[in-house]
Amino acid sequence: MKRATLTKIVHFLVKTLTRTEYLGGEYVPREGGILITTNHLSRLDIPLLLFTPGREDVIALATDKYKAHKLFKWILETAECIWIDRDRADFAAVRAGAEYLRKGGALGIAPEGTRSQTGGLIDGKPGTVLIAERTRVPIVPVGIAGSDTGFEKLKRLQRPHMVVRFGPAYMLPELDRNDRAGWMVRCTDEIMCRIAALLPPEHRGVYADHPRLKELLGS
């Protein structure tokens, strides 16, 4: 099956079986490389990103642990994902993602590196910062809410309400070569707080009281 056919099928299922809202689509650049950063609550998150407004070229960095699930393995490979080994420094996946961005593509990534088991954000990993620094493309933050209970509601023949909210694109500051470690931490926090600002309070997790999030929320 071709990616375009898969996209049509998934779009039909999402529209028919769920009540999914896409908000802030005007913030998504329509052309050029963009790094789409999202929280990760469910296996539904990556399929939802396939319908990023204005972009039909979204592919995702997906953990190779999904290869153990035949359906999701098939969906992700048909959607042309880039597999990444989250248990080691997978430089091949990072290079592949960076190359796709340099060619003008839209790459989705969950900076947490794995699904949250608490429903709230967990600590972000530095890999996203490395890709952003290598490519210098705009970052588009995304907050997904409601996907964590999506499968359970579908099993009960209910239509889950999910919200995919996009925020303004931004750039990370230039690498501070005199304080690389500190720069990595600050940039990772920036990425995660930008995502947290798009989420309801119950999904903000470890970033709920972060000073940068309070700045973004104007509180």
What's the rounded mean pLDDT across residues 207-215?
A: 97
For the stretch 86-117, pLDDT in tens is 777 788 998 999 999 999 999 999 999 889 99
Local confidence band at 176 (pLDDT 50, 70, 90 cut-offs): very high
**Does residue 55 contact residue 30 with C-beta atoms inside 8 Å?**
yes
Query: Looking at per-residue confidence, does 73 or 188 come out higher?
Result: 188
Instruction: Confirm if 122 and 116 have CB atoms less than 8 A apart.
Output: yes
Number of folded domains that form the chain: 1
Rounded average pLDDT over 48-66 = 90
219: pLDDT strictly greater than 70: no
Instruction: Specify the pTM.
Output: 0.93
The token pair that represents 78 in the structure block: 């048909």
Q: Is the pLDDT of residue 141 over 70?
A: yes
pLDDT at 6: 86
Residue type, 31: E
What average pLDDT does the segment 186-204 reach? 98
Amino acid 58: pLDDT? 95
CA pair distance 180, 1, nearest whole angstrom? 44
> Could you tell me the residue range of the domain that residue 187 belongs to?
3-217
Average pLDDT of the chain is 93
The enclosing domain of 170 has a CATH number of 3.40.1130.10
